[in-house]
Amino acid sequence: MPSFPSVRLRNVSLSASVLRTANASSELASSGSEPRVAFDLTLGPGVTGLVGRNGSGKSSLLKFIASSGLTGATDLPVMGEVSLSGPVRLLDQSPDPQARLCGLFGCAEAWADLRHALAGEPTRGAFEAVDWTLEDRMVAQLTRFGLPGMAPERRLGALSGGQQLRASLAALFFDAPEIILLDEPTNALDTEAREVLAAALKSHRGIALVASHDRTLLEEVDRIVSLEPDGSVAQFGGGWSAFQTAREAERARLVAEADKAARALRQHRAQVEEAAARQARRARQGKALRDGSQSKMLLDKAKEGAEGAAGGRLRATARRQEALGAAQASAVNRIEVVTPVAMVFPEINLPATKQVLVLREAVFAIGDRRIGPITLSLTGPERLAISGPNGAGKSTLLRGIAGKIAPLSGEVIRPVKCARLDQSGGLAGPGNLIEAARREHPHLEPAEIRTALAQAGFRGDTALKPVAVLSGGERLRAAIALLGAGGYPAPLLLLDEPTNHLDLDALEALEEGLSQWRGALIVISHDAHFLRKLEISARFCLNSRHMGVTKAL
């Protein structure tokens, strides 16, 4: 048993079906080959970020480690051996709503013993074995994660979604476990909860393996492990910035290698053409000699020798050209197995003085609560971020701005057309991509939908894929393409947590596309890195302590 915490993976490989899913738009998926690369990986104390494209196997790998790699324990598409130095916990993001907090903490029996002992009733074991500090430790842990005064016997179904995730995080870190595994833990967390999680990870003394696309979180990790498109892994020391620098340097090296291979192939082809020209000249000279006075016997003997040597040279030349071509193809493939498809927003040029949105004392309902009164305005291509804790009503406000719900009082004035994209890109539900697009855009003609999808790379049968099998990036790319369909793009774009289910490639493509967008933008996001990239001009804070617009720094 190692003297320090460790996770050791040996001869681990992802199934070919996983790799085909992760590389759905590459030759790797359509070639009919069964790529399978086994890897070894050892993790020591500290926080390790796990990155990779959607569908690359991050979640399966975490579940595989959590199951200790026992054959037959799961039906996961992963094979190999796992060696753990101690107990492992995987963040529970879908707890049973009927379970109680003490059960989530794994302390249901110990909690029952404590309650019986305090009531003077018999316990399961010796009275001296009762954990007398259990309640204090659980309450302190719940308070640490933003749930003060929460009773350990409370049912999870009585908590909001955000509170359930906070409770799951509190349970994960309870009593300092040796090894913890987290799968996209920040997706449903507000800014305050993200900061609490970051502090908990920083103070963790064991091993933490975190699958995430949250670059603010990844900036603080000790190392990053990347699941590559071919199923191998690459490990980088440091956080997100160091990872990006190393990746860019590696890409530059591979580009130079591909250029060198291409030059060698061109030079070889030029040499082959020159040799062929020389051989043609010699053939013409030989014909002239045969037409002359030299004896036929001498000429035939010379011809046989020349043909034998030429045949050998041709075979060597063919082998050399094949090797150079393979080297060039290999170098190009290593640059990027899948070239990320750009997210291209429709062209628009919104005048700086154009009134885009006005809210005057608008009040909206969210259940029994009221949001507002809210007063704000947007002019020209301004970029507004709506911030606030989970449950504050940010999405309700965005739906009110979009005209999906009417205000209880006050007014909402939208002088321009607006388009709204939520976490699914607005394309969800049953059926294929074209059917989902028709539901979301009933005003568009079928030909307009097909044209827009084709321009985004969804051509032929690809446009008939079920929406359920598309990645978050693919759904968002299709939704963005439909914004400009019909020739009348909306000057005001509303985004509700658009980054939650995107991998890093899709996220960066979204940022690049929005940087070229010349319309107005209102966005809800807890992703600080994403908001910085968008160059937000103002923020609207929505919470009980303060409500209003502040200019972004």
Q: How far is CA 221 from CA 35, 226, 321, 523, 528, in A?
A: 30, 13, 46, 27, 17
Q: CA 86, CA 45: separation in Å to the nearest integer? A: 12
Neighbouring residues of 3: CB distance < 8 A, sequence distance ≥ 6: none
CA quadruple 211, 217, 219, 220: dihedral positive or negative?
Answer: negative
Residues near 334 by beta carbon (within 8 Å), at least 6 away in sequence: 254, 257
With residues binned 3-state (H G I as helix, E B as strand, rest as coil), the percentages for the chain, rounded to 5, are 45, 20, 35
What pLDDT, on the 0 to 100 scale, is given for residue 412?
A: 95
Buried b (16+ CB within 10 A) or exposed e, 52-65: bbbbbbbebbbbbb
231: left (phi over 0), alpha (psi -120 to 50) or beta: left
pLDDT at 83: 86
Q: Which of 446, 507, 439 is closest to 472 using CA atoms?
A: 507
Q: For residue 504, what pLDDT is reported?
A: 87
Q: How far is CA 90 from the centre of its chain?
A: 20
pLDDT tens digits, one per residue of 284-320: 766 665 565 555 555 555 555 555 555 566 566 667 6
For residues 389 and 96, give the distance between their C-alpha atoms in angstroms, rounded to a whole number. 24
Strand partners, 13: 79
β-bridge mates for residue 236, sequence order: 224
User: Which among 396, 342, 347 is positioned nearest to 369, based on CA atoms?
Assistant: 396
Q: In angstroms, how far is CA 180 from the centroid of its own chain?
A: 21
The pTM assigned to this predicted structure is: 0.77
Q: 342, 530, 523: which is closest to 418 by C-alpha?
A: 523
The pLDDT tens digits along the chain (553 residues) read: 446 678 888 878 776 544 444 444 433 343 444 445 788 889 999 999 999 887 778 888 898 898 874 444 456 678 888 888 888 999 988 888 899 999 999 998 888 888 888 877 777 766 677 888 999 999 999 999 999 988 899 999 888 878 898 999 999 999 888 999 999 999 888 888 999 999 999 999 999 999 999 999 999 999 999 988 777 888 999 999 999 898 888 778 877 877 777 777 777 777 777 777 777 777 676 666 556 555 555 555 555 555 555 556 656 666 766 666 666 666 665 555 545 567 788 888 899 999 999 999 999 988 788 888 999 999 999 999 999 888 888 989 999 999 999 999 999 999 998 988 876 666 777 888 899 888 888 888 888 888 888 877 788 888 888 888 887 778 888 888 888 777 778 899 999 988 887 888 888 888 998 998 899 999 999 998 999 999 999 999 887 565 666 665 4
Q: How far apart are CA 39 and CA 4, in angstroms?
A: 22
Contacts of 469 (CB under 8 A, 6+ apart): none
Q: Are the C-beta atoms of 76 and 64 separated by less than 8 Å? A: yes
Give every CB contact of residue 13 below 8 A, 6+ residues apart in sequence. Answer: 36, 37, 38, 39, 78, 79, 80, 231
Strand 223-227, strand 233-237: pairing: antiparallel
